[in-house]
Chains A and B, each alone.
Chain A
Amino acid sequence: MTSTSSSTHFAVWRAAAFPTRDNRRRSKELVIQGALFFAALSSVLITLGIVSILLYESLSFFQTVPIRRFLTDTQWTPLFADAHYGILPLACGTMVTAAVGCLVALPLGTIVAIYLSEYAPYWVREFGKPFLELLSSVPTVVYGYFALLFVTPLLQKIIPGLPGFNMLSAGIVIGVMIIPYVSSVSEDAMRSVPMHLREASYAAGGTRLQTALRVVVPPAFSGIASAYILGFSRAIGETMVVAVAAGMQPNLTWDPREPAETITAYIVQVSLGDLPHGSVGYQTIFAAGLTLMLMTLAFNVAGYFLRKRFREVY
């Protein structure tokens, strides 16, 4: 009791004797906290900036081009004399390359994840995972070179008549690039499944594969689905591989063997030229960018509901 009251007396005496010291310290703390808060808020400002720039330029674009024509016209020739503004060929190119990429990355990434999580000895996992992650740290323009000058000639030996620019080789290389995204996140999800579930399965006579597929994968599915969504978003947004290897000609086709242009490759193509600021041609890249963002958003929202549907809690 006495000690409490004497320390209170001391605090009162100190506040009276040195009024500025505490106040200064408190205001300094507040200023620092405010500065840190604004740093954290800056990320929200970036999002607002992205959304408002895309909307602002797209709105003026949609004043010259009706949105119905943008969505239904089957030609994309904004820089020709006979200008058509149909996003379908670009969106189609984006979907085809991303689909080819996912056909490569999702099965391979899942197999790698199951192997690393359920089969591999400790040292394989410790070395294998960072090594695979190197695949995602190779600059994308280098992957473009690889697709155009290594994978395409290789594929031309298997598929005669394959054009030099095609969506197939770009898609395959994108797939290789996103394997680590898929495998890493899936593996993390599988490893967080409690050990006693596996032990129960082994005790009941399950093999490692049965344990993996029937015991580990179902509860980890929401994490695995996030990995798939992440991989697919990467594939949609990938730019340099398709700009180098898929050709830069809008082409409305579902055949991956043909050349085509994606939304991202179109933005690169226009940026390489010199379009005057404010022209319709300049605004097209923002309308294309907005479409890209909306496509990514749609898949992320779908993924969110998928995850919610399959979530299991212990």
Chain B
Amino acid sequence: MARPLAVSPGLLRRKMIDRGFEILGILACLLGALALLALLWDLASDGAGRLSWEFLTSFPSRRAGSAGILSAWVGSALIMLVTALAAVPLGVAAGVYLEEYAPKNWLTALIEINIANLAGVPSIVYGLLALGLFVYQLHLGQSVLTAGLTLALLILPVVIITTREAIRAIPGHIREAAYALGATQWQVVKDHILPYSAGGIMTGVIIGLSRAIGETAPLITIGALTFIAFLPPPPFSAELPFLSLAWLKSSFTVLPIQMFNWISRPQPEFHHNAAAAGLVLMAMALSMNALGITVRYRYRKRIKW
């Protein structure tokens, strides 16, 4: 009887190595997942006991047991508002220009290279820019406004890049059809490009903001205070003109800075506060991320060209 086709030992060895690498790859992926789970478990086991309604509605305090994060999360929310208001119009406009208007010349190339490089600048350097420019040149002070603008500069490249990607996904025949009907360039952008790319742009904005909300270093650099036991003045007032912008000039603290402050203290009670603040921060950042991914997913499903 003929022997079955001989399998060379070399082939077996190669297949074993191949299988070995597959297991290594799975282990490496699991290691990443494990690190994330360990981090969540560590935070939860230290901080979950401190989470309560009181913790969310109290000011920081010298006594760990009665300290809370009210001023911190209000500060974070107000700064996100300023950041979004500044970064979204500027970033979307820049993205629209680069995709729809920009001629192919050295200036456009310069702007494009520059945006790619800005995305790689360490965040603390933005803090130094803000300290020199906003705080000492423009005299905006160490305020909510300065902090919001700083983070807006930080996430601007993200907003521009995702806007461009969203616009690039729109097929050319949509534009051609609109131009054929006599629409001007701005009419095409306003009535077609922006509505069709809105989902993608929103994803970019949300992911940018989820990055901004966890940023600590640039805000410390502009001189954010770590102990704030008051809230900024409310944006609405009883007298005319009903709206007040005083909160923009108020000093502030944010969640990550509050957390950093508590970590830096030696007492373990404050570490538990830090863990609880970290849980709130993670919940905010991760839910924004999840929201961004959901928006992108639903949007992709809905539009078929």
Contact = CB atoms under 8 A, between A and B. Distances in A.
A18 to B, nearest CB: 15
Contact of B211 (A137, A143, A277): A137
A46 B153 contact: yes
Contacts of B186: 28-29, 32-33
A42 interface: yes
Contact of A49 (B24, B101, B133): B133
A5 B156 CA distance: 50
Contacts of B84: none
Contacts of A131: 33
B246 interface: no
Report the contact-size class of chain A (Cβ under 8 Å from the partner): 35 or more
Interface string B32-67: 110110110011001000000000000000000000
Chain B, interface SS category: helix
A53 B132 contact: yes
Interface string B88-129: 011101101110011000000011001101101111111111
A207 B33 contact: no
B299 interface: no
B250 to A, nearest CB: 19
Interface in A117-142: 119-120, 124, 128, 130-132, 134-135, 137-142
A50 B33 CA distance: 37
B213 A139 contact: yes
Contacts of B25: 111-112, 114-116, 119-120
Contacts of B121: 50, 237, 293, 296
Nearest to B292: A137
A33 B185 contact: yes
Interface residues of B, number: 87
A115 B28 CA distance: 9
B214 A53 contact: no
B17 A209 contact: yes
Interface stretch (A82-90, A216-224, A249-257, A284-292): A284-292
B147 interface: no
A37 B97 contact: yes
Interface string B201-221: 000000100110111110011
Contacts of A115: 21-22, 24-26, 28-29
B210 A292 contact: no
A43 interface: yes
Given A134-B289, A145-B275, A264-B217, A44 B110 contact: yes
Contacts of A32: 186
A111 B28 contact: yes
A239 B216 contact: yes
A74 interface: no
Contacts of B91: 39
Given A25-B184, A111-B25, A112-B29, A239 B43 contact: no
Interface of A: 25, 28-29, 32-33, 35-37, 39-44, 46-47, 49-50, 53-54, 56-57, 108, 111-112, 114-116, 119-120, 124, 128, 130-132, 134-135, 137-146, 148-150, 176, 179-180, 205, 207-210, 230, 233, 236-240, 243-244, 264, 267-268, 271-272, 277, 285-286, 289, 292-293, 296, 300
17 contacts: A40-B93, A47-B118, A50-B125, A54-B128, A114-B25, A130-B293, A137-B207, A139-B278, A140-B215, A145-B259, A145-B263, A150-B42, A176-B35, A271-B131, A289-B128, A300-B117, A300-B120
